[in-house]
Structures are given as structure tokens and as C-alpha cells.
Amino acid sequence: MRLIQHFIDGATVTETPARTGDVFDPSTGQVQAQVALGDSDLVARAVANAKAAQPAWAAMNPQRRARVMFRFKELIEANMDELAEMLSREHGKVIADSKGDIQRGLEVVEFMCGVPHLLKGEYTEGAGPGIDVYSMRQPLGVAAGITPFNFPAMIPLWMCAPAIACGNAFIIKPSERDPSVPVRLAELALEAGLPKGILNVVHGDKVVVDAILDHADVKAVSFVGSSDIAQYVYGRGASNGKRMQCMGGAKNHGIIMPDADLDQAVADIVGAAYGSAGERCMALPVVVPVGEETAERLRAKLIEAIADLRVGVPTDPDAHYGPVVTAQHKARIENYIQMAIDEGAELVVDGRGLSLQGHEEGYFLGPTLLDRVNPDMQSYKEEIFGPVLQILRAKTFEEAITYPTAHQYGNGVALFTRNGDFARKFASSIEVGMVGINVPIPVPVAYHSFGGWKRSGFGDLNQYGMDGVRFYTRTKTVTQRWPSGGAVLDQSFVIPTMS
């Protein structure tokens, strides 16, 4: 059986691993590969190689590092089909969605091709008598990324591209459920001219995560996953003096105003709720129609749109989405559906019990629609992370915006309206990190940054964009004076001022 190995110091690790994990094919339910699971010794080995390689990479001028990033971008584009097929085989996404996953990561690589400009510091001439002040951005050393199963290309690229472009070495710890794509990306980076040891991939479970968080030479860690784990990772890493950036779960809301273009809103909502089988932290699993008439019209159109959805294997070009990632995750989603019913929600469309001919053991779930959900329900409070859409009705705009604002998560939110006044008030007052106005999945473009509020994000700096540059560098400020001759200045025993 195929063994997915670690990638350290520019090469695949060859020794037989002490522990392995199963990698399943979500379409069949069968084990398709084994992944090597590391330990603290393996992490120490990866960090040592990264630490040894990093100074020479950091000393390379930014323009030469940018050329490697340009070549890396070209190689990802040239190998898009291979990467998408690999991703779909392990995750279960349809091929088109896998290509979107890769493309959104590629856009961050593209942004980091401008690293010479992004690393420029500031300069002040004449800050005092004969004194000039300037700042510079310098890499941290070795950084690491702990990435989730749902975006096995995009999120590793969100993390590693800013880190390595800024002159750091990087270690990716991908999800054990779909670990192949990050290894292939590391191989392509090496082919692009990245020195050995600058980008490494170490597979593993909590043992490897804790080893990364405890290693003194890992200076920064970026994480994406559930909020409980994000909080744990943030706390343990921060207590060890590391710079931490931890993104957690979400329960994104879409508020539907009576004046919204309902046909467009429904098309957007269905794609945002059920695309990638709902396994996105920026999915839209809750809609909040304002007013009963809006709610009834929305419900009728959603039922009609859901009936046209096709669930299939990743290679089916007509499928809108594929299976969920594991049998355990499928069971978890089904439990949440039953929980909502038991709590009093109305089951409008039931996606349980779906079976595809020839793929009866696959982890497939049809789209589920639940109405008359209320904010006291546990199924509303928690992240389901599956193809489940809940309708939470509101009487007024003011009531509607209280729901995303009061929720424990604050990742994304959307408002569907034709009214600019409502949109402006909404964007200004909502307590959520990423806001869409008639945009169902408001993931910012690569030259802005990604980050949620409340239990959706732990740490002060967001992912990619200029926040990514800030996260993976530290600022050094130099105050200098060059003597120009003449009398020696008197000694001073007070703090220097510019008075």
C-alpha cells in the first residue's frame, strides 16, 4: 500500500515509520494509503535542518527570493490538474472545487512575488540634530503551520508563501486525513529553486503538534482548525514565547432583507451552504430572512434549488459536491441534524440516507434544510461543518444583526439587500471579522488579509496580505548619528528627547 512520507531537508524520508495512520478514499470508504506519523525526534530533526538552512536564505536579497516565488507560482499552475486530482482523491471535493482551493492559495504566492516592496522599511531624515531613524523588517527564523483537512492546498500556501518569501524556513504539519498535496507542493518549491531545508512537511497527530509548540527554535506558529483546538494551540504556543496566529471555527450568517434580489441570493446561498459539502470555515450555514413574507419566499425557492443539486464522486463533472471527509465526520453531521430535530427545528429537506450506486460505502450526505431554528438551540450554537442549512427567522433588521453579533463565532457574515443605508449600517456595526454585501463567501483577496473575531480567531495578526508579512517578520528600528566634527556634546543623564 502507498506510504505517504515526511519531506525533510529537500528529500522524502526513507526509514520505516514507527506509527502510521489510514488515509481513506471518501468516495468508497476504503483505505487508499498510509501516512507516516512523526514524533518529537522527527520534529527536532526537521527544525534542525530548517534552522541550518535559514540564514543563507534570509541573506539572499529579496528580489532573488521573489524569483523563486515566481517560479513556484508557474509550477503550481503547470501542475494544477495533478494537484487537483490528488486533492479530490483524499478530501472528496469535486475537481472544480479542488482547483478553486489551489487557486486561492496560488493568489497568495502571487502576492508574495512582490516581497521586495513589502519588506521595505521606513526612514526619517533629521529626526534630531544630525540624527536619522530607519526601520527594517527581518525574518524570525523557523516558523510552522498546522493546517486542517478542508483546504489541503490553500491554507498551507497561505502560511508558507509569506513565511518563506520573507526569509524564514517553514515546517508544514498537514492534516493526516489528506496529507499528499502539501508534500507535492514542497517538491515543487524545491524544483522552483527553494534551497533544501527551507520548506519541510512533517506528518503526525497531537504528538507532533505538541512537539512543534514546545520546540524552542520554532519562533512562530500559524494554525487553522476547530476553536477548542485553536485555543489550546494558542495558549500552549504563547506560553512558550512563540508568536501565534490561530484561526478557529465559524457559524456564518446570511441576512436576507425584503428588498434583496431573492433569485440571486438563493443561488449564492445554495452554493455557499452546500459547496464542498459544507466543509468550509467560510461556508454559509445559517440564513436569517427578515419578515415572514421574506422567510416564506426564501424557503420555497431554497426547496426548489436544493432539488436540483447533484451529489457525486469528485470526478463527476456534473456533481455540485462530493462526499464528506470521513465516516466519523458523516456520523457527527447526522447527529447534529437529529439534535436540531429533537430541539424543535422543522426538518424541511433531509439529506441523510443518501447512497450512490457503486459507492454505497462512501461518505455521502445529501443537502439538508432546517427551518424555525432559534438561537437557544445547541445545533445553532455549534459548528456543524456539513451540508446543512438552517433558517433563523427575524422580524426586523435590528433583530437580525443581533444574531451574528451575539454568536460565539465571528468569522464571516453576509447581507443581501439593495439598500445602501442598510449595508453601510451593517458593515459598520456587525461584530464579525469578514463582511460580505451581496457576497456570500467574503474571503478577502490576497492583498488584504483573512481573520475572524471572537472564538474564530486567536492572536493579533491575520493571515496573508500585509498582516502575513508582519506576522513572519520583526521590526528593528535604528537611530543613528554620524559625528561631523566640532565640540563634544555634554554628558546627559536624562532620557533623550527631541525638545
Which positions are annotated as active-site residues?
A: 281
Question: Which letter, b or e, does each residue of 70-91 get, where b requires 16 or more Cβ atoms within 10 Å of its Cβ?
Answer: ebbbebbeebbeebbebbbbbb
Neighbour order of strands in the sheet with 11-12: 11-12, 7-8, 199-201, 169-173, 142-146, 218-224, 243-247, 457-458
What are the CB-based long-range contacts (under 8 Å, 24+) for 72-77? 72/109, 72/188, 72/189, 72/192, 72/194, 73/106, 73/109, 73/110, 73/113, 74/192, 75/188, 75/191, 75/192, 76/102, 76/106, 76/109, 76/185, 76/188, 77/106
Q: Is the distance from CB of 254 to CB of 283 less than 8 angstroms?
A: no
- The residue ranges of DSSP E strands in 248-355, in sequence order, are 253-256, 286-289, 346-349
Strand partners, 347: 370
485 conformational bin, left if phi > 0, alpha if psi -120 to 50, beta if neither: left
Which residue is it, cell 457525486? Answer: 312
Q: Is the distance from CB of 320 to CB of 311 less than 8 angstroms?
A: yes
Nearest to 385, CA basis, from 348, 454, 336, 344: 336
283 class by beta-carbon count within 10 Å (0-12 exposed, 13-18 middle, 19+ buried): buried
Which residue is it, cell 453579533? Answer: 405
Nearest to 413, CA basis, from 379, 438, 389, 395: 438
- The residue ranges of DSSP E strands in 204-323, in sequence order, are 218-224, 243-247, 253-256, 286-289
Residue 393 carries which DSSP code? Answer: -
